[in-house]
Amino acid sequence: MFKKVIFIFCFLVLCFGVGGDRVLACDSCFCSVIGRRDIPAGDSKEHKRAAFGFLFEQQNWDELPVQEAHELHENGHHVHNKTHEEYSHFQASANPHKRVSILADIPYVVRTSIEVEEHPRLGQKQTSEGWGDLTLVGIWRFIENANGYLGVTGGVKFPTGETGNTKPGRDIVAAHAEEEGEELEPDWEKYEIELQPGSGSYDFPVGGLFRYVSGFWTFRGNAVYTIKRKGARQFEFGNAFTTSFAADYLLNPESRLARTSLGVDVNFQHEDKQKDHNATVQDSGGDILFVGPSLIIDLNDNSQIYGNLLFPIYQDMGGVHQELDYTWTAGAKIAW
């Protein structure tokens, strides 16, 4: 019976996640759900009381030529010329009940981009960094046995992140504006909200997840839909959908230390169109499919390190939009 339920879940994830209509979405430019942001539930066999973890995540973008990006901006396109983004996730979890987990995640975000708007700094690299938004989620594993579990999840992302970072060299920009006879608007010196560490919005992720062990193989998967609300500066990110599937093979089952698993991760994401002051941002939204290798090392019964490297094999970004080159993660978790 459990195998049949897992098969149905996988079928629904693949059909409605990867091949379904374009009605779901992810975070801005797919930044914060790539890699291991798939709400891990821990090892169902041991049910640790609590755990702490750290996950580093980096996304590397295909840069646009500066002049080309500037011309697109001048022609009214919503363009950001990112180089890479880094997220240092600090995570904690507790298991108040055998089948219930509560997870918290707060990232420190670093976004690096190239200025494509203001003439005095055109082509200069710039960095916006600070604490991101706090996410709290709960997991209920309503079906569970020795081979794995099937569960549901839901939570809230709070607007705790920085949304007021300003661009460097603002005195030069101000001087140029005065020479042109322009007046600075209150938000003119701030980074665009898509380049801020936080969103300023309350968001609500809901979904399902599973884990199944068969011999030396472990299969994991989830499908999460995130409802986005209006945030800082009247900007609203598109609703988010992400579905992930991972298959890991245990290489040294007889070992009690450093049990190592190699596997493959598949991650699909879709984003609805964003809105700026209730106006639809045409250069936003779209689909992306990642595939890549993964590594998990269980150092002992209480600690684990893991990572993956994902490459986009399909990208259909909405409107005029940068594409991702690759993304990778590396993390560690200790439980007791």
3-class DSSP string for 291-327: EEEEEEEECCCCEEEEEEEEEEEEEEECCCCCCEEEE
C-alpha distances out from residue 318 to 63, 235, 281, 287, 335, Å: 17, 17, 9, 8, 41
User: What pLDDT sits at residue 301?
Assistant: 84
User: What pLDDT sits at residue 181?
Assistant: 56
**Tokens representing residue 161 in the block:** 């992140």
Q: Where does residue 42 fall: left (phi above 0), alpha (psi -120 to 50 degrees), or beta otherwise?
A: left
> Residue type for 294, please?
S
Render each residue's pLDDT in the chain as its tens digit; 336 residues.
656 555 555 544 444 433 333 222 234 333 333 334 333 334 444 567 899 999 999 999 998 888 777 777 677 777 788 899 999 999 999 999 889 999 999 999 999 998 887 767 788 889 999 999 999 999 999 999 989 999 999 999 999 999 999 876 544 455 555 555 555 554 457 888 999 999 999 999 999 999 999 999 999 999 999 999 999 999 999 999 999 999 999 999 999 889 999 999 999 999 999 999 999 988 888 899 999 999 999 998 889 999 999 999 999 887 777 889 999 999 999 998
User: What pLDDT sits at residue 74?
Assistant: 74
Break the chain into its structural domains and give their ranges.
Answer: 2-165+195-335
CA distance 29 to 36: 16
Interval 45-99: pLDDT, tens:
456 789 999 999 999 999 888 877 777 767 777 778 889 999 999 999 999 988 9
Whole-prediction pTM: 0.83
CA distance 188 to 183: 10
User: What pLDDT sits at residue 169?
Assistant: 54
User: What pLDDT sits at residue 15?
Assistant: 43
Helix, strand, coil tally for the chain in percent (to 5):
15, 50, 35
User: What pLDDT sits at residue 168?
Assistant: 61
3-state class of 202 per DSSP?
coil
> Residue type for 143, please?
I
Q: Are 277 and 302 in contact (CB under 8 A)?
A: no
CATH class in words for 2-165+195-335 = mainly beta
User: What pLDDT sits at residue 183?
Assistant: 54
User: What pLDDT sits at residue 175?
Assistant: 52
